[in-house]
Copies of this chain bind each other. A is one copy, B any other.
């Protein structure tokens, strides 16, 4: 780190050498969640290159840092890199997802190649067509999270069919799932998993899939409608009843609330996590 102390910021920056640093790489990894076949699924890629060739991993890649130096705005933003990775694998245009930063993972040795800092993002998507493999990937697929046997505290796991994820991606996915479960409680993000217009039952299916437990249909219905700004009625109903009978359901679109008051508290969490 240069310490010759020029007088002005301009002089200082002109004489600054960014290559004096040890090599580090910055990547983004994206946990993309959706509901398919009534269960929570995550977008994974089958790695086609080393390291971890042949293992499943979260889609991700290196952030384009650019080669400019002082003051030039080169390279891409972290969120932009996440959107790019997501678009590569799903073939969807960016605007369709809710995307938020999850956490950053930088423990030495987590990538065998070099020191890698991974900024993980969390995306919520409505039901999408089958993914396509991007570069460096042999395949991309939606995988039920319950089939991954993650060591977290949610219900509905099948530890038998564990598929080992590359790097520390099991940990990242686990953190993403916990964030998703938590955010359903106090934000209207469940609506990011459905396409408009949607029924209250479809919304309930989202909660049941993410939380991994059945909810009381009648109380859920009343609760959703009583939270201001969660959903708003379109005045329409579905064309037909459900697949196994029942009346036509009313249709709703997303409301304008960004926080749910009061929140939808997750059941089964009553007696404290001590």
Contacts and interface: CB of A to CB of B under 8 A. Distances in A.
A119 B52 CA distance: 26
A74 B72 CA distance: 31
Contacts of A168: none
Given A13-B51, A21-B23, A26-B117, A71 B273 contact: no
Contacts of A52: 9
A16 B114 contact: yes
Contacts of A112: 9, 13, 70-71
B117 A117 contact: yes
Interface of A: 1, 3, 5-6, 9, 12-13, 16, 18-19, 21-26, 49-53, 62-63, 65-67, 69-78, 101, 103-104, 106-109, 112-115, 117, 119, 228-229, 256-261, 269-274
Contacts of A65: 21-24, 115
A113 B18 contact: yes
Nearest to A230: B272
Nearest to A78: B106
A51 to B, nearest CB: 5
A227 to B, nearest CB: 8
A78 to B, nearest CB: 4
Contacts of A24: 24-26, 63, 65
18 contacts: A1-B62, A5-B49, A12-B50, A12-B51, A22-B65, A23-B67, A24-B25, A26-B117, A69-B114, A75-B115, A78-B104, A101-B104, A104-B119, A117-B117, A117-B119, A257-B272, A257-B274, A258-B273
Count the copies. 2
A244 to B, nearest CB: 36
A32 to B, nearest CB: 19
A70 B23 CA distance: 12
Given A26-B117, A257-B273, 17 more contacts: A9-B112, A13-B50, A13-B112, A22-B67, A22-B75, A23-B67, A24-B24, A24-B26, A24-B65, A26-B106, A71-B109, A76-B108, A78-B107, A104-B119, A256-B274, A258-B274, A261-B269
A143 to B, nearest CB: 23
A35 to B, nearest CB: 25
A50 B26 CA distance: 25
A145 B5 CA distance: 31
Contacts of A12: 50-51
B18 A114 contact: yes
